[in-house]
Chain A
Amino acid sequence: GAVVSQHPSWVICKSGTSVKIECRSLDFQATTMFWYRQFPKQSLMLMATSNEGSKATYEQGVEKDKFLINHASLTLSTLTVTSAHPEDSSFYICSASQSAMSPGAEGYTFGSGTRLTVV
């Protein structure tokens, strides 16, 4: 089945530094990938839609200059949290669909998530 690999699985960084999270589709090409954030005991909140070869589409309230998304190839999307602060500490998860034609008609595959702690 489809596999989405996400790295790192956890990271601790100092306040003010930047952190990059990678999301790779291992056995399929993903024109579109999605980035989510999840705070403890809350549901996943969609942050942005990452489109290969073009700019990401951000959800309302998500700072595009803070959360930089790059989708340079059909198998790799990256999320960079710039100038991280403790309130950015969260669980970040990416996902992708194998189907570009009708993604809603098939399940999405999620990465295993990245636990970011900013100290």
Chain B
Amino acid sequence: SQKIEQNSEALNIQEGKTATLTCNYTNYSPAYLQWYRQDPGRGPVFLLLIRENEKEKRKERLKVTFDTTLKQSLFHITASQPADSATYLCAPLSGGYNKLIFGAGTRLAVHP
């Protein structure tokens, strides 16, 4: 069955450092992979999308990589700030299949 794995333990880093979050998937051949941020008691907010033919995507301090051979996506936040503290969710999608299924999410805590 399809499986999405994210680091279940919280990631604690110091302000200014780069946070790297991992998303691994099995039994998927996604055409896209999306990353979302969720704050407590709120709905997820879309951050970035990467296509299967793209190796890397950037948006301001965010960078996403997509390795279809390893079946893995990495999500980086450079120069992290306490305001980046949240849970980050990944969601791979197959082409033409619009159901969005999330991984368990990784909670990031950025300390001053």
Contact = CB atoms under 8 A, between A and B. Distances in A.
Query: Does A associate with B in a complex?
Result: yes
B44 A44 contact: yes
Contacts of B51: 105
Interface stretch (A11-19, A73-81, A89-97): A89-97
Consensus secondary structure, chain B interface: loop
Contacts, number: 60
Contacts of B36: 107
B104 A113 contact: no
Contacts of B77: none
B98 A32 contact: yes
A105 B104 contact: no
B38 to A, nearest CB: 8
A113 B98 contact: no
Interface of B: 31-32, 34, 36, 41-47, 49, 51, 89, 93-105
9 contacts: A34-B100, A43-B103, A43-B104, A46-B99, A104-B93, A104-B100, A107-B36, A113-B41, A113-B42
